[in-house]
Chains A and B, each alone.
Chain A
C-alpha cells in the first residue's frame, strides 16, 4: 500500500513494514515511526525557503527544519518543522 509519494507499506503480520518506493530500502516496522529509520538532516528553518528569515528575530526557542531521506537512495521522504528537542512526529499509523 502506497502511503506517501515515496513510501509504501508492505508485508503481513510481524513482517509488515515501511519501504522506499524508489529503492525498496526497509524503513522499519509498520508499528514504528518510519522517520526513526530515515537519514535525517536537521537544518536552520531559514533553509526551508528564501523568505523564511531567522526565527530568532521573534522567538527564543530554536526551531529547525528536518529532512527525512531514504538511507538507501537519498530520496526526500518528508519534511518537518519542529522545536529542536522534539522527537520526530509519528504522523502515520495505519491499522
Chain B
C-alpha cells in the first residue's frame, strides 16, 4: 500500500496507523522460507488447497472447544487466518471477516519491529490488540504464530477472539463515554506472549491485570494458543507428506488464482467512481450530533482504490482506525468479487489501494477513542457494499451479484453486567443482532434474518444457553415484519428480542450503538433503506402478572408500563425486575422501485406475515382484499392505485434548484 497521503504522514502505528511498506524492512535476523516448487500437480493442488482451508476451520473448532465462552462457542465471535511467510493472506477463516482483515498488519509489524529483539523463534506467539498497529478494536485480541520449517519462517497462522472484558472504564470494555483511548482498554502492540510454546507468566500477569474477569481471559488465551498449535501441527503434517516446496507452491497458487479471478471480474467493469455516504450519531452519551461517513471507490484498469474523503473528523467514541476501515471493506470485497476463492484475499489485495485521510472518523490519530470501532468497521463495510453494488450494476455479468446493504450495518451492542443469584459477577453482550438480514438483489429478495455480510457462519447464540449462563429470561426473539427496505425486490426483515431479569433485582446496561436516528442499511436503485436500530426499556411493567396468568408477551407494545427514551449510547442505566429490555436491529435495504414489485410477491409476503396489509397498500400500491377469506389480490384496484401513485410522485416533486432555492414546501 502506498497511499497518496503517505508522503507527509508517518504510518508507523504510533500516532498514525501502521501501513506496511513494500517491501517490508526486515531485520537481518529474520529468516524467511521462500522456496516454492515451480509447478504443482493438479490433484495435489486441490487436495492441499482444501486441506489448508480446513486447517482454518479446525483451528476455529479448537478455539470453540477450549474456550467455552458464549462469544466463542455460541456466537463464533472470532476468526482464524493463514498467511505466507511475509504476511500475505492465503485464507481467511469462515467466521467474523473483519477480524481476519486486520491480522496481516500486526504480523508485518512484528516482522519489521521484533525480528531482532526479542526475536521471532520457533514456538513463539505474539499477542496484540492495538488498533493503530492493526486490530478491529481492543476487545478482539490477536495471537499470531510463525510456523517454522528448518529454522525459517514458512508461514503464519493466527486468530483473533473477542474477550469478555479487557479493561477500560466500562464492564465488557465497550466504553461508550470514552473521550480518548486512555479511557479504554490499553492497546497492546505485538508482544511475545508465548515463547517456545510456553506462556510467559510475567506478561500474562500484566495482561490479565487489565481485566475484570481475568480467569476467563486466561482461558481464552489458552484457547487461542491451542488453536494456533493445532493449525501449526496440521501444516507441519502437510510439509512432511508433500514437501515444503510443494506446500509453498500451493499457497502461491491459491493467491495467484484469487488474483486472476479478481482481475477477470474487474475487467468486466467500466472505469469510473462510485460513492456512498451514511451517517453515524451519538459520538458520546447525550451527544445529538450527526457525522457523515463517506466511501469512495475508483476503478481504473485493474486497480480499485478506496478513499474516505468527505468523512467527518474523528469525534467521541465512534471512530475506527485505518485497519478496521480496511478490514470492513475486505468483508464485502470478498463476497462480491472473490466469492469463489474460499476467502483467499491475498491476490485480490494486490489490486486494491487504500488512500485514507488522516484525522477522520475512519482514520483517527492516536489517542482518539477507538474501542467502539466495531461500529465504524462494519458501517464502513456497509457503505462499501453500497458503493461497490452501484459499480457492479454497470457490469452486465456482475449485475445480479450486487445487493443492498444488509442487517448488522451497525451492530447495536447491548452490554449487560451485574451480580447473579449466586453472588457471582457476570457480564456479557447480546449477540442476537448477528441474525441480521440480507439486502435485496437485482433479481431476487434479500433474506429475512439471513445473517450478516461480515460473518458467513453467523450464529445468534442459543437462547437456552444464554438463559443458563446469565440471569435473564427471554420473552421473545422474533422477526420484525415490514422492517426490510421496500423495493422491486424486498430487503430481508430484521428482528427483535426482549428480556427481563431472572431471580435478581438489577441488571446494569451499557448500550452502545449508532444507526438509531438515521438508517444505515441503504437501498440500491430506488430501494428504500431498512429500519433503524432501537433500544427500548419499559419500566414498571405488568410482565410478572402476565407470567402468573401463564402468558408470555410477544411484543413490547402489548405490555403495560412506562417507556422513556433510551439513547444510542448510555451509561449507568439499570433494569429492575419489572422492567422489559428490547433490542431491535436494522434489516436489509431494498432494490428498485417498489411499484414494480410483482403484486403476487407482495400478496405472498402478506400471507406469511413478512409484510403488513397496510404497507402492501401504502408502499407497494397493492390492494389486498382481506376479509373473512384467504387474502387475495384486487388486480384492477392495484393497477389504478399504482397509476395514481406515479402521477402523485411527479405532482409532489420538485427540481433540486427549487428545493435549494429555499422553498420550504420542497424541504
A residues lining the B interface (CB < 8 Å): 1-7, 35-36, 38-42, 45, 48-53, 55, 57-61, 63-65, 67-69, 71, 73-79, 81-84, 87-95
Contact = CB atoms under 8 A, between A and B. Distances in A.
A87 B656 contact: yes
A76 B593 contact: yes
A5 B517 contact: no
Contacts of B482: 49-51
B295 to A, nearest CB: 10
A91 B568 CA distance: 29
For chain B, the bracket of interface size reads 35 or more
B274 A91 contact: yes
B15 interface: no
A20 B638 CA distance: 24
Contacts of A75: 526, 593, 595-596, 646
Contacts of B650: 39, 69, 71, 74
A66 to B, nearest CB: 9
Contacts of B56: none
Q: Which 7 A-B pairs have the closest CB atoms?
A: A51-B531, A39-B653, A74-B646, A5-B525, A76-B526, A58-B517, A94-B272
A34 to B, nearest CB: 11
Contact of B653 (A51, A69, A87, A88): A69
Given A4-B524, A49-B528, A78-B526, 7 more contacts: A39-B654, A49-B482, A77-B525, A78-B525, A79-B529, A81-B522, A94-B270
B140 interface: no
A94 B273 CA distance: 6
Nearest to B389: A4
A90 B274 CA distance: 8
Interface in B345-403: 387, 390, 393-394, 396, 399
Contacts of A7: 525
A89 B275 contact: yes
Contacts of B608: none
B235 to A, nearest CB: 44
A76 B594 contact: yes
Contacts of B660: 87
B656 A55 contact: no
B288 interface: yes
B271 interface: yes
A33 B211 CA distance: 52
Given A69-B650, A73-B646, A52 B667 contact: no
Contacts of B656: 35-36, 38, 40, 87-88
A57 B534 CA distance: 11
B278 A81 contact: yes
Contacts of B594: 76
B527 A57 contact: no
B519 A95 contact: no
Contacts of A82: 277
A5 B272 contact: no
Given A41-B649, A48-B519, A60-B288, A95 B270 contact: yes
Contacts of B277: 82, 89
Interface string B268-292: 0011111111110110000011101
Contacts of A68: 526
A5 B593 contact: yes
A6 B517 contact: no
A68 B525 CA distance: 10
Interface in B57-87: none
Interface in B468-496: 480, 482-483, 485-486, 488
Contacts of A76: 526, 592-595, 649
Given A45-B518, A49-B483, A59 B290 contact: yes
Nearest to B481: A50
Given A40-B656, A59-B288, A4 B390 contact: yes
Contact of B274 (A48, A73, A92): A92
A93 B272 contact: yes
A15 B54 CA distance: 54
Contacts of B271: 94-95
B516 interface: yes
28 contacts: A2-B394, A4-B393, A5-B393, A5-B488, A6-B592, A35-B656, A39-B653, A39-B655, A41-B653, A41-B654, A45-B519, A48-B485, A49-B485, A49-B531, A50-B482, A51-B532, A52-B531, A58-B567, A59-B288, A61-B290, A65-B528, A68-B526, A69-B653, A73-B646, A78-B525, A78-B526, A81-B519, A92-B390
B584 interface: yes
B592 A55 contact: no
Contact of A58 (B387, B516, B645): B516
B442 interface: yes
A84 B516 contact: no
Contact of B289 (A51, A57, A59): A59
A95 to B, nearest CB: 4
B591 interface: yes
Nearest to B530: A49
Interface string B307-328: 0000000000000000000000
B649 A52 contact: no
Contacts of B659: 40, 42
A83 B529 CA distance: 15
Nearest to B277: A89
B529 A2 contact: no
Contacts of A49: 482-483, 485-486, 519, 528-532
B275 A2 contact: no
A69 B612 CA distance: 25
Contacts of A84: 667
